[in-house]
């Protein structure tokens, strides 16, 4: 694909995505007021829409300003809106964060600045190898890791003792489902059925399809099997809400964070504060979780089960920081990123539970680095591979609802999704 064709395709995709979000994107907040004192004549603008959605932000920008001497403002453009601004050459955002699954598109469209800094190079090299490699392009460092995440299978130690289950026993999805559905004890298995399906679907796309070559085929027996196995047998919207056979949905699971009640659940390392066996009061469905160490003391983590032997690695999520190629404050923006690199955990807010670093001693005490579950997550990240390309189609997946409501057969539902993806591929 030529450079101009790639840009045209990127524009078409983004306009299609904007048509779905409608006025929400066009009316999203622009640049906010200063969040730090005026340390200089001009402020570095960081697009961090998590500061709006989560009320938190990736980093403590006041602290970064104090350490760097650079004034900082935040912007809250939605991803689709930000992409349009970058492609138009707008300079009103200096630093932005994106998910690594979009990184290849940004590289191909030149939406980056080279980060010519020994500080950032050293920071990247201190991260896991796949993270550092993902931030390189044509021999240049073009991004800096900002955070990482992995939604893992979590099993209480007491459930492991009760059942004797091992990592090998839940390595593949069929074996995992058998473990859950054949369990006859009093514990409950919890999951977010949709998120589990999408995680497994991602495996299919990465190992059964050629995303870069635009060869994405869902009309296969392997995908039919996955679709039916994970989405059949319940009405997602007919329950409160639904979950695959043998599971309860984690958001309705009053005991999903309780090691005495759960057979298994799923979660991120940053979910640790929500895990506790201690009740807040006499209500059995309410728990005191603040400051609890139960997650670290009583749980183990395992990789998401594989759909087949064709899956050879775990795909881990990462967000990266990039400097806008049209920025007029590149020197100051680089200084901001260098300050983050030199003070990562001291300035981290929403990303404070990220696993980025190969050196175990780099993690602060609140990670509970002597716990089994820290070691479990560390091994997942150290052996994982960062995904830099994904099937990035904007769709509500209404065919899933129609399939689960009995309006579409399995073949019809998959064919409808294939039709939508084909349109996306040929834009």
Listing DSSP states for 285-307 in one string gives: T-B--TT--HHHHHEEEEPPPBS
pLDDT at residue 33 in the model: 43
Rounded distance, CA 147 to CA 42, Å?
A: 27
Q: Tell me the whole-structure pTM to 2 decimals.
A: 0.87
Q: Is 210 exposed, middle or buried (0-12, 13-18, 19+ CB in 10 A)?
A: exposed
Nearest partner of 250 among 234, 265, 263, judged by Cα = 265
Contact 158, 298 (CB under 8 A): yes
Q: Does pLDDT of 301 surpass 60?
A: yes
Predicted local confidence at residue 362, as pLDDT: 97
| SS3 of residue 180 by DSSP | helix
Phi, psi of 32 (to 5 degrees): -85, 180
Q: Which long-range contacts (CB under 8 A, 24 or more apart) does 292-298 make?
A: 293/368, 294/259, 295/271, 295/373, 296/272, 296/368, 296/371, 296/373, 296/374, 297/371, 298/156, 298/157, 298/158, 298/259
Q: Which of 183, 200, 324 is nearest to 246 (CA)?
A: 183
Q: What are phi and psi of 112, to 5 degrees?
A: -160, 165
Q: Residues 283-298: what's their mean pLDDT?
A: 72
Confidence grade of residue 283 (pLDDT, cut at 50, 70, 90): low
Helix/strand/coil for 377: helix
Instruction: Output the CA torsion sign for 65, 68, 72, 78.
Output: negative
Q: What is the pLDDT of residue 252?
A: 55
Q: Does residue 338 carry a pLDDT above 80?
A: yes
Q: How far apart are CA 346 and CA 198, in angstroms?
A: 34
The residue assigned the tokens 């749980």 is 299
Q: Is the pLDDT of residue 35 over 80?
A: no
Residues 6+ apart with CB under 8 A from 259: 156, 157, 158, 159, 275, 277, 294, 298, 299
Mean pLDDT, range 90-115, rounded to an integer: 94
75 or 356, greater pLDDT: 356
> How many whole angstroms separate alpha carbon 377 and alpha carbon 407?
41
Domains of the chain (ranges, CATH numbers)? 3-149+317-379 (3.40.190.10), 152-302 (no CATH)
Element spanning 156, H or E: strand 152-156
As a whole number of Å, the end-to-end CA separation of the chain is 12
Computed on alpha carbons and rounded to an integer, the radius of gyration of the chain in Å comes to: 22
Is the omega angle on the peptide bond into residue 241 within 30 degrees of 0, that is, cis? yes
pLDDT digits (tens, 9 = 90+) for 80-101: 888 899 999 999 899 999 999 8
Q: What CA–CA distance (Å, rounded) separates 402 from 319?
A: 33
């Amino acid at each position: 694909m030529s450079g101009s064709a790639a840009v045209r395709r990127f524009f078409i995709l983004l306009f299609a995505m904007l048509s779905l979000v409608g006025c929400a994107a066009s009316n999203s907040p622009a640049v906010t007021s200063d969040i730090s004192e005026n340390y200089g004549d001009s402020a570095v603008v960081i697009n961090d829409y998590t500061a709006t959605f989560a009320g938190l932000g990736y980093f403590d920008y006041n602290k970064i300003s104090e350490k760097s001497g650079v004034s900082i403002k935040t912007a809250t453009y939605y991803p689709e809106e930000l992409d349009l601004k970058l492609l138009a050459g707008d300079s009103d955002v200096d630093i932005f964060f994106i998910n690594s699954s979009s990184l290849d598109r940004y590289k191909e469209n030149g939406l980056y600045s080279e980060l010519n800094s020994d500080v950032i190079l050293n920071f990247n090299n201190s991260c896991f190898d796949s993270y550092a490699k993902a931030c390189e392009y044509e021999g240049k460092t073009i991004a800096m890791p900002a955070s990482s995440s992995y939604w893992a299978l979590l099993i209480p130690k007491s459930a492991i003792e009760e059942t004797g289950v091992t990592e090998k026993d839940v390595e593949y999805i069929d074996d995992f489902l058998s473990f859950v559905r054949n369990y006859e004890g009093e514990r409950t298995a919890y999951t977010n059925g949709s998120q589990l399906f999408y995680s497994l679907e991602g495996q299919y796309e990465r190992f059964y399809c050629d995303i870069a070559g635009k060869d994405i085929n869902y009309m296969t027996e392997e995908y039919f099997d996955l679709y039916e196995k994970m989405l059949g047998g319940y009405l997602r919207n007919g329950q409160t809400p639904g979950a695959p056979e043998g599971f309860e949905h984690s958001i309705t699971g009053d005991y999903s964070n309780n090691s005495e009640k759960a057979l298994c659940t799923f979660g991120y390392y940053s979910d640790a504060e929500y895990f506790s066996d201690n009740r807040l009061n006499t209500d059995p469905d309410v728990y005191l979780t603040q400051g609890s160490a139960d997650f670290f003391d009583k749980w183990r983590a395992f990789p998401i089960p594989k759909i087949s032997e064709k899956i050879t690695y775990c795909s881990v999520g990462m967000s990266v920081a990039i400097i806008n190629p049209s920025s007029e404050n590149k020197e100051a923006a680089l200084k901001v990123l260098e300050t983050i690199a030199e003070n990562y955990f001291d300035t981290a807010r929403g990303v404070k539970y990220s696993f980025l670093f190969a050196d175990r001693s780099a993690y602060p005490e609140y990670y509970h680095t002597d716990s089994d579950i820290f070691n479990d997550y560390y091994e997942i990240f150290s052996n994982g591979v960062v995904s830099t390309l994904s099937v990035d189609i904007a769709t509500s997946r209404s065919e899933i609802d129609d399939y689960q409501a009995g309006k579409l057969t399995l073949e019809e539902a998959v064919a409808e999704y294939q039709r939508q993806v084909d349109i996306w591929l040929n834009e």
